[in-house]
């Protein structure tokens, strides 16, 4: 039994690129569990495969976690009592463990060259046998092996897997799992470059860092009997394994870029709220009951448990994510949302719009748009016209559609009527503006919708905007009238088509 008082869990990504949502979901679940149990969450960078190392990946991993609010108690940047937290800085520990295994007869040096191994595989294939290392150095005399090693000949260290019997372990979600030992070969634990394979690094580090629960993807299940053997051979205590299911794309294949799945920081870029993504990822593969979908971080920490993860793969429901993001936008406390909007506008509005962005103005327009957007990335184009005194009138062809098609002179006249009635309006507010404009439409015998659509384009420069009259109230009387006059003039100057 694990000591539940002492939960230490880790997220152990390989810096081979940007973290995708599957990996980050794993981090999130692990973090939630650490928080729930008052345990420690550790970030460890598994950079033992130097050929797959991608420059900048460690930063991107840390930034992704930070954006989602997943904080670590120990890690490469902040250190901690179990460091270092880069595997590449822990080489001595792996070497020591591998040598101890050789000493005790659990491992041996193998000098088979890559060519030799290829030939071995080819002849196995020709004989229709499954490819498997044939143990050719397993019984090689230890002294001879040592001499060859000392002379500088390259070698790997392999674990001598028991050839009979079976290995059983417990997975928190699936219960007991058993593998026949004869199906497993003498796998490499230390490579010729002195770096460990994942198998050895997992066992050494998760022991040294006193990890209580190893959470990782289910693709590691077939390797777990190897790990059990390693833990036992080294005399280490076995952790609790939790193998989480994969996320599937709509076609049933493992979720990937080709399904439109994104890297975490791309979701940030596109305008998702981190709270929404956290909520969405947490419930993709975990459920409290058959209906609750919305969880704050605090609530997740309260109710989440690793043992309740689904054993089955889950689909990635993009529509649900968008819906959830919209919901978070609508329900967020207004001032918090204003802060988020301001930050986004600082970033997205064209450079010619002066900075800093006016917080009070954003606060005024927030109620007009919070119901309308699903993504923050929609914001700047929707509200840009509030921030500039000069919105260019679109080309007549774009402007004049439906009733106004090919009727630029009539449209210009209608806009003149609008500016004429708005100019003397004593009390500039949305209700009054709407009232006088409706009256005018009636007098001119123009359908209100057709009449308003002209004004909308004149004032906002776009056909789709936040509610017109409220927007006009915020923009102010003088500027609205200016824009309407400008649009009327530009229409009068449009050559008749």
Number of CB atoms found within 10 A of residue 113's CB: 11
- Structure-token match 């009979």, residue found: 164
Paired tokens of 228: 């059990």
Question: Residues touching ligand GLU: how many (CB under 6 A)?
Answer: 6
Provide the β-strand partners of residue 39: none
Over the window 143 to 182, marking each residue x when it contacts ligand GLU by CB under 6 A and - when it does not, the resulting string is ----------------------------------------
Q: C-beta of 350: minimal distance to ligand GLU in Å?
A: 40
Question: Of 205 and 473, which CB lies nearer to ligand GLU in the complex structure?
Answer: 205
Q: Which two tokens stand for residue 487?
A: 């649009």
Nearer residue to ligand GLU within complex by CB, 12 or 65 = 12
Of 147, 254, 257, 443, which residue is the catalytic one? 257
Helix (H) or strand (E) holding 242: strand 240-244
Nearer to ligand GLU, 12 or 300 (CB): 12
User: How big is the chain by its Cα radius of gyration, in Å?
Assistant: 32
Smallest separation (angstroms) from ligand GLU to the CB of 129: 29
Task: Name which position in 40, 90, 191, 202 contacts ligand GLU (CB under 6 A).
Answer: 202
Please choose, from the candidates 463, 446, 456, 465, the residue with its C-alpha nearest in 3D space to the C-alpha of residue 484: 456
If the CB atoms of residues 14 and 212 are measured against ligand GLU, the closer one turns out to be 14
Q: CB 28 → ligand GLU: shortest distance, Å?
A: 14
- Kindly write out the interface string for residues 8-27 of this chain, putting x where it contacts ligand GLU by CB under 6 A and - elsewhere: ----xxx-------------
Closest CB to ligand GLU among 246 and 375? Answer: 246
Q: Which is nearer to ligand GLU, 255 or 362 (CB)?
A: 255
d(Cα 488, Cα 409) in Å, to the nearest integer?
A: 9
Positions 276 through 315 that interact with ligand GLU (CB under 6 A): none
Residue 46 binds ligand GLU (CB under 6 A): yes
Closer residue to ligand GLU in complex, CB, 13/196: 13
CB of 214 to ligand GLU, least distance (A): 6
State the residue for tokens 């634990």: 189
41: phi > 0 → left, psi -120 to 50 → alpha, else beta; which? beta
* Closest-CA residue to 480 (of 370, 399, 382, 385): 385
Supply φ then ψ for residue 110, to 5 degrees. Answer: -125, 125
Give me the least distance between CB of 242 and ligand GLU, in Å please.
Answer: 10
Residue 44 C-beta: closest distance to ligand GLU, Å: 8
Q: Which stretch binds ligand GLU (CB under 6 A): 7-15, 300-308, 319-327, 333-341?
A: 7-15
> In 3-state terms, the chain is what percent helix, strand and coil (to 5)?
50, 10, 35
> Smallest gap, in angstroms, from Cβ of residue 43 to ligand GLU?
11
Q: Distance (Å, rounded) from C-alpha 137 to C-alpha 133?
A: 10
Answer yes or no whether residue 483 interacts with ligand GLU by CB under 6 A.
Answer: no
DSSP string, 157-220: EEE---SSSEEEEEETTTEEEEEEGGGS---EEE-TTSPBPHHHHHHHHHHHTT-SEEEEEGGG
Is 205 a binding residue for ligand GLU by CB under 6 A? The answer is no
Distance in Å, CB of 338 to ligand GLU, minimum: 39
Q: Does 216 bind ligand GLU (CB under 6 A)?
A: yes
Q: For the range 170-173, what are the long-range contacts, defined as Cβ-Cβ under 8 Å and sequence gap of 24 or more?
A: 170/240, 170/241, 171/221, 171/224, 171/241, 171/242, 171/243, 172/213, 172/240, 172/241, 172/242, 172/306, 172/307, 173/242, 173/243, 173/244, 173/307, 173/309, 173/311
142 is catalytic: no
The answer to whether 48 contacts ligand GLU (rule: CB under 6 A) is: no
Cα within 13 Å of Cα(311), Cβ side: 6
* CB of 26 or CB of 440, closer to ligand GLU: 26
> SS3 of 154, please?
coil
Give the residue numbers annotated as catalytic, written as ranges.
257
Binding site for ligand GLU (CB under 6 A): 12-14, 46, 202, 216
């Amino acid at each position: 039994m694990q000591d539940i008082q002492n939960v230490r869990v880790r997220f152990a990504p390989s810096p081979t690129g940007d973290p995708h949502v599957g990996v980050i979901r794993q981090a999130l679940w692990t973090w939630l569990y650490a928080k729930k149990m008052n345990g420690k969450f550790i970030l460890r960078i598994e950079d033992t495969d130097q050929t797959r190392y991608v420059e900048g990946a460690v930063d991107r991993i840390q930034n992704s976690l930070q954006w989602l609010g997943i904080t670590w108690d120990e890690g490469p940047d902040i250190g901690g009592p179990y460091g270092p937290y880069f595997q590449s800085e822990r080489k001595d520990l792996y070497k020591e463990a591998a040598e101890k295994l050789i000493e005790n007869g659990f491992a041996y040096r193998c000098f088979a060259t890559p060519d030799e191994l290829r030939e071995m595989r080819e002849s196995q294939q020709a004989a229709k046998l499954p490819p498997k290392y044939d143990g050719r150095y397993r019984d090689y005399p230890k002294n001879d092996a040592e001499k060859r090693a000392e002379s500088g000949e390259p070698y790997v260290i392999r674990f001598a897997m028991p050839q009979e019997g079976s290995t059983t372990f417990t997975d928190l979600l699936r219960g007991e799992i058993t593998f026949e030992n004869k199906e497993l070969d003498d796998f490499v634990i230390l490579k010729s470059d002195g770096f460990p394979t994942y198998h050895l690094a997992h066992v050494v580090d998760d022991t040294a860092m006193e990890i209580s629960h190893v959470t990782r993807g289910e693709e590691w299940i077939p390797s777990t009997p190897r790990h059990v053997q390693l833990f036992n051979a080294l005399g280490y205590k076995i952790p609790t394994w939790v193998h989480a299911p994969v996320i599937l794309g709509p076609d049933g294949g493992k979720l990937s870029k080709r399904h439109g799945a994104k890297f975490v920081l791309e979701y940030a870029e596109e305008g998702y709220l981190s709270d929404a993504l956290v909520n969405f990822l947490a419930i993709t593969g975990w459920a409290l009951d058959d209906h609750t979908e919305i969880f704050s971080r605090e609530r997740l920490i309260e109710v989440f448990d690793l043992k309740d993860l689904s054993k089955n793969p889950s689909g990635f429901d993009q529509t649900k994510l968008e819906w959830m993001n919209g919901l978070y936008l609508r329900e967020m406390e207004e001032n918090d949302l204003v802060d988020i909007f301001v930050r986004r506008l600082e970033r997205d509005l064209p450079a010619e719009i002066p900075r800093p962005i006016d917080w009070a103005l954003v606060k005024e327009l927030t109620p007009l748009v919070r119901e309308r957007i699903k993504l923050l990335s929609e914001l700047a184009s929707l509200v840009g016209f509030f921030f500039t005194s000069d919105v260019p009138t679109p080309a007549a062809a774009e402007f004049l559609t439906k009733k106004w098609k090919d009727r630029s002179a009539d449209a210009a006249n209608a806009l003149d009527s609008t500016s004429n009635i708005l100019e003397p309006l004593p009390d500039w507010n949305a209700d009054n503006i709407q009232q006088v404009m409706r009256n005018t439409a009636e007098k001119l015998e123009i359908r209100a919708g057709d009449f308003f659509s002209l004004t909308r384009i004149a004032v906002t420069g776009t056909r789709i905007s936040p509610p017109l009259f409220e927007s006009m109230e915020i923009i102010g009387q003088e500027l609205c009238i200016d824009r309407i006059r400008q649009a009327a003039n530009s229409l009068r100057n449009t050559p008749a088509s």
